[in-house]
Amino acid sequence: MPPSITILPLGTASAVPSLTRNHSSLAVILPSSSTLIFDVGEGTQHRIQRFPLKLNKVEKIFITHLHGDHVFGLCPLLATLMNGAGGTADPDADPRTHDADAPPTKPRIEIYGPKGLREYIRAGLTLTYTHLGDWYVVHELHFPHDAPSDPTEHCYLKEHPSGTNIPQDPQGFWRDFAAWTHPAHGNVEFTISAAEIKHSVPSVGYVLTESPRPGKIPRDYAARISKHKEALQRSGHENPMKFLGLLQAWDCPEDAALELPDGTRLTKPPRVRGRKITVLGDTCDPSPIIPLAEYSDVLVHEATNAFLPGLDPATKGTETYEAVEERTKSRGHSTPEMAGRFAHAINSRYKDDDADGPDGAAKKIMVRIGVCAMGSWMTATGSSEGLRVTCARDGVPIEVKG
């Protein structure tokens, strides 16, 4: 079984944080331990240091949209990751800016997000005299209506000149714009794609997809080879058991087969689908991402407002669920019921957690929110089979097994 992918919520509050919930951010740790960060709300670097994450493993950052509660922690995180604190007014006086060598082939950090992200980072670093000790790059995901711009113009210190503007394809997606290769055999192991999700500002959701993996070898293969071992050796297979290792190799040809002396053939088992993780930021309608997100193993979906009569003091006695949903949508957000319906629409298992620290009232609210999400799924399907709802808590990991 392949190693788990770990999803670690770093911040699960929206605009206003609490003692137990920080602004939006989420880490995904791949089996290679490469760490991806989705959104960087204020204080994210404190969360990274507090939870079991290694700063030196953070290599790519994905921003869903430019609302402050999703990006206010970005420049400080870059400064920490790349020794950028305490710059001087005269960059020439700072040894970190004296880079005798040309930019490296690969920048230390790659950042992806909607148009405006590059300029935001430049302004944040420039105006605070932040002189990074290593290189970063920004790739913007451009909508057709975004004004064209030259990404290499006005690069700030240590901004790598390989930045690109990635256009939407004719179907409205940004497909496979980043990839991770397997450290052992070098084949592409994961790719990431994006699509628009509806919010009050330009916003995208991300889909991390694992490549199909070699299928499981049937249990009887070893015994059948063993039974004919000597005959196979006589026909030129010095070590016939090696065939089992070949079948597990990523680059094993699809038509690989071993013919046994009795005429039967041991063929390569079909590849099995890899895992798929969909991470959405704020949204009131993520439907444009459905074709990419279908059959996700995990869907990370916000639920900013909920109708919780008798439990949430903010819910008035005269209010209805419909009124709460209408108000939530008008602000570009979702209720747990909307999240549950979307999980059904993409045929996903939908995850969050059912507890919120030691405070009993908060815990009850999160349990009720989970019930709301599950209820809308069951209304759509008539069953809760295959569904697991988890209300995410800061610092509580979710393991995605292979």
The residue written with tokens 């604190």 in the block is: 85
151, containing H or E segment: none
Q: How far apart are CA 103 and CA 134, in angstroms?
A: 9
Q: Which is nearer to Zn ion, 210 or 282 (CB)?
A: 282
DSSP H helices, 24-73, are: 44-50, 68-71
The residue ranges that bind Zn ion (CB under 5 A) are 67, 282
Q: Which is nearer to Zn ion, 204 or 308 (CB)?
A: 204
What's the length of the chain? 402
Q: Which is nearer to Zn ion, 28 or 66 (CB)?
A: 66
Number of Cβ atoms within 10 Å of the Cβ of 380: 13
Q: Which is nearer to Zn ion, 63 or 109 (CB)?
A: 63
**Two tokens, residue 126:** 């420039």
Q: How far apart are CA 24 and CA 218, in angstroms?
A: 44
Whether 167 and 142 have beta carbons less than 8 Å apart is answered as yes
For residue 197, the minimal CB distance to Zn ion (Å) is 11
Number of Cβ atoms within 10 Å of the Cβ of 51: 15
Handedness of CA 19, 23, 24, 30 (dihedral sign): negative
Q: How far apart are CA 67 and CA 86, in angstroms?
A: 27
For residue 74, the minimal CB distance to Zn ion (Å) is 15
401, containing H or E segment: none
For residue 63, the minimal CB distance to Zn ion (Å) is 11
For residue 65, the minimal CB distance to Zn ion (Å) is 6
Write the Ramachandran bin of 332: left for phi over 0, alpha for psi from -120 to 50, otherwise beta. left
For residue 302, the minimal CB distance to Zn ion (Å) is 9
For residue 336, the minimal CB distance to Zn ion (Å) is 18
Write the Ramachandran bin of 116: left for phi over 0, alpha for psi from -120 to 50, otherwise beta. left
Q: Which is nearer to Zn ion, 21 or 67 (CB)?
A: 67
For residue 282, the minimal CB distance to Zn ion (Å) is 4
Q: Which is nearer to Zn ion, 110 or 282 (CB)?
A: 282
> What type of residue sits at position 204?
V
Q: Which is nearer to Zn ion, 117 or 232 (CB)?
A: 117
Q: How far apart are CA 204 and CA 196, in angstroms?
A: 4
Helix, strand, coil tally for the chain in percent (to 5): 25, 20, 50
- How far, CA to CA in Å, does 235 sit from each of 31, 206, 258, 265? 40, 52, 12, 15
Q: Which is nearer to Zn ion, 140 or 189 (CB)?
A: 140
Sheet with 298-300, edge to edge strand ranges = 173-181, 188-196, 204-210, 276-279, 298-300
**φ, ψ for residue 393 (rounded to 5)?**
-120, 145
Q: Which is nearer to Zn ion, 198 or 227 (CB)?
A: 198
| Residues whose CB falls within 8 Å of the CB of residue 253, separated by 6 or more in sequence, listed in order | 268
